[in-house]
């Protein structure tokens, strides 16, 4: 495989699009579209631009919800990404529905199949960005994504991925109903014990 060493400003190699919901200091719910996130166990990390409305509200309130939309919500994803929460009520603008959370003071998005209630653990500012490290305190998963034993049906999850560079960015989608179990591609070997 030939490769080029290139100089580019950004590279999005495939991050799930999320809708982060929160209340501002006045108790008004709002949303932000994000693609910079990862989670490990009960820890979640989000990346925000330093001057945005969402990070200001999350900094003040200290709680938020990470909502994972599917491809049926593309219009809402873009509305929330192309408008400012300082100027608009993005729930009203996008037609999404805020629902009370169980453990945090932040709304869930009713239309998103996965919602994670979170509390801010700490903030780290780096250049023009703010990294939010949070604790996941409650998970909500649509019944359509769960089997009879309340285990996640991996093949049913339909996230939207954000890919591209500084020149052009796009959305990518998974093929639904297709998933391979972890370990499926390990070769049979006598000299290695796969863990």
The pLDDT, as a whole number, for residue 92 is: 93
| Number of structural domains in the chain | 1
User: In this structure, is residue 78 part of a structural domain?
Assistant: yes
Q: Reply yes or no on whether the pLDDT at 23 is more than 80.
A: yes
User: In this structure, is residue 193 part of a structural domain?
Assistant: no
pLDDT, averaged across the chain: 91
Closest CA to 158 of 94, 101, 102, 111: 111
User: In this structure, is residue 50 part of a structural domain?
Assistant: yes
In tens, the pLDDT along 133-153 reads: 999 999 999 999 999 999 999
In tens, the pLDDT along 68-112 reads: 999 999 999 999 988 888 888 999 999 999 999 999 999 999 999
The pLDDT, as a whole number, for residue 177 is: 66
User: In this structure, is residue 6 part of a structural domain?
Assistant: no
Q: Reply yes or no on whether the pLDDT at 186 is more than 90.
A: no
Closest CA to 141 of 128, 123, 159: 159
How far, rounded to the nearest angstrom, does the alpha carbon of residue 83 sit from its chain's CA centroid? 18
State both tokens at 97. Answer: 């529905």
Task: State the CATH number of the domain containing residue 66.
Answer: 2.30.110.10
User: In this structure, is residue 39 part of a structural domain?
Assistant: yes
Is residue 173 within 8 A of residue 158, CB to CB? The reply is: yes
Closest CA to 18 of 40, 47, 43: 47
Average pLDDT over residues 128-137: 97
User: In this structure, is residue 31 part of a structural domain?
Assistant: yes
Domain extent for 45? 14-173
In tens, the pLDDT along 31-60 reads: 999 999 999 999 999 999 998 899 999 999
How far, rounded to the nearest angstrom, does the alpha carbon of residue 160 sit from its chain's CA centroid? 10
User: In this structure, is residue 29 part of a structural domain?
Assistant: yes
User: In this structure, is residue 4 part of a structural domain?
Assistant: no
Beta-bridge partner residues of 70: 159
């Amino acid at each position: 495989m030939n490769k080029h060493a290139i100089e580019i400003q950004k590279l999005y190699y495939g991050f799930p699009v999320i809708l982060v919901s929160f209340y501002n200091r006045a108790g008004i719910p709002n949303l932000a579209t994000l693609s910079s996130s990862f989670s490990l166990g009960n820890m979640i990390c989000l990346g925000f631009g330093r001057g945005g409305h969402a990070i200001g509200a999350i900094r003040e309130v200290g709680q938020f919800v990470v909502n994972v939309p599917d491809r049926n919500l593309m219009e809402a994803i873009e509305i929330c990404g192309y408008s400012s929460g300082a100027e608009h009520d993005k729930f009203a603008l996008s037609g999404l529905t805020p629902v009370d959370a169980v453990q945090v003071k932040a709304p869930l998005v009713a239309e998103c199949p996965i919602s994670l209630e979170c509390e801010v653990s700490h903030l780290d500012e780096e250049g023009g960005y703010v990294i939010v490290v949070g604790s996941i305190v409650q998970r909500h998963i649509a019944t359509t994504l769960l089997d009879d034993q309340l285990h996640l049906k991996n093949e049913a999850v339909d996230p939207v991925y954000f890919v591209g560079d500084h020149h052009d960015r796009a959305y990518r989608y998974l093929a639904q109903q297709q998933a391979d179990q972890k370990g499926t591609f390990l070769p049979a070997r006598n000299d290695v014990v796969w863990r």
